[in-house]
Amino acid sequence: MLTNLNSGFAVAGCDSGHPLLESEASGPNDSVPFLDDIAKVKAWIHNSIAMTTNVTRSITANYYAEQPAYSYFWGCSTGGAQGYALAQYHPTLFDGIYAGSPGNWYSHLILSFLWNGLHATGEGFMSQDALNLITKRTVAACDELDGVKDGLIENPLRCDFDIRTLECQPGQTAISNNKTVCLTPAQI
């Protein structure tokens, strides 16, 4: 999106109908808590994109005092699957759809999420706090490689952060004052 925005195009994104807090699950099998609600599943896979597109077109038309000449959808992974669904359920919504690496074999995909959830326990389990520590340290090490401190790693291939630097030292405890301060060997 940033490349297109920097090229002068109007761009938009959305949470696909699911706020971040809804995804911050409490247990290993709670990673997709909305799957028992068909309306939320439809919002996730295609309806939210259609709603966002209509609002975005209205905002763009008001700002530029004219309707957009063309409208394209770009998505990868879940976004790629959303592109497939948009082509099927909203075929006239976009002038073109780029659907990269679509994660769209849902019977297999959801079962793999559940399998991963069952096996994401034990000594190697990563709490959200541990993941936040990894994110914070990785961004701190690699954010400014593009010359801009913006909290984003624009080129992950240039990031040479070594996660082993987060391993607990002898005598150090992974959790201090209810915060993850280092990672155990099993987590590394």
Domain ends where: 72, 88, 119? 119
In a domain, 155, yes or no: yes
Domain ends where: 90, 119, 148? 119
Give the per-residue SS3 of 8-64. Answer: CCCCCCCCCCCCHHHHCCCCCCCCCCCCCCHHHHHHHHHHHHHHHHHHHHHHHHHHH
pLDDT at residue 28, rounded to an integer: 46
- Using a cut of 0.75, tell me whether the model's pTM lies above it: no
| Phi, psi angles (nearest 5°) of residue 2 | -65, -40
In a domain, 187, yes or no: no
Cβ-proximal residues to 33 (8 Å cutoff; 6+ apart), any chain: 22, 23, 25
pLDDT at residue 134, rounded to an integer: 96
Same domain, 76 and 151: no
Cα separation of 137 and 29, whole Å? 27
In a domain, 52, yes or no: yes
pLDDT at residue 14, rounded to an integer: 86
Cα separation of 8 and 183, whole Å? 43
Same domain, 113 and 149: no
Assign 105 to helix, strand or coil. coil
Same domain, 42 and 87: yes
- CA nearest to 186, candidates 172, 171, 174: 174
Same domain, 101 and 38: yes
Same domain, 68 and 95: yes
What is the b/e burial string over 15-54, where b = at least 16 CB atoms within 10 angstroms of the residue's CB? ebbbeeeeeeeeeeeebbebeeeeebbebbbbbbbeebbe
For residue 73, the tally of other CB atoms under 10 A from its CB is 19
pLDDT at residue 62, rounded to an integer: 97
pLDDT at residue 33, rounded to an integer: 61
Q: Which domain holds residue 140?
A: 128-180
In a domain, 137, yes or no: yes
Output the six-digit token pair for 118. Answer: 């069952």
Cα separation of 161 and 139, whole Å? 9
In a domain, 22, yes or no: yes
Say how many domains are in the chain.
Answer: 2
Same domain, 105 and 51: yes
Domain ends where: 84, 100, 119? 119
Same domain, 36 and 113: yes
Same domain, 84 and 150: no
pLDDT at residue 29, rounded to an integer: 45
Q: Which residue has the tokens 């309707």?
A: 67
Per-residue pLDDT of the chain (188 residues; tens, 9 = 90+): 889 999 999 999 888 776 655 545 554 445 556 667 788 878 877 788 999 999 999 999 999 999 999 999 999 988 898 999 999 999 999 999 999 999 888 778 878 877 777 777 778 888 889 999 999 999 999 999 999 999 999 989 999 999 999 999 999 988 888 888 999 998 99
Same domain, 75 and 161: no
Same domain, 101 and 146: no
Same domain, 90 and 35: yes
Same domain, 78 and 156: no
In a domain, 170, yes or no: yes
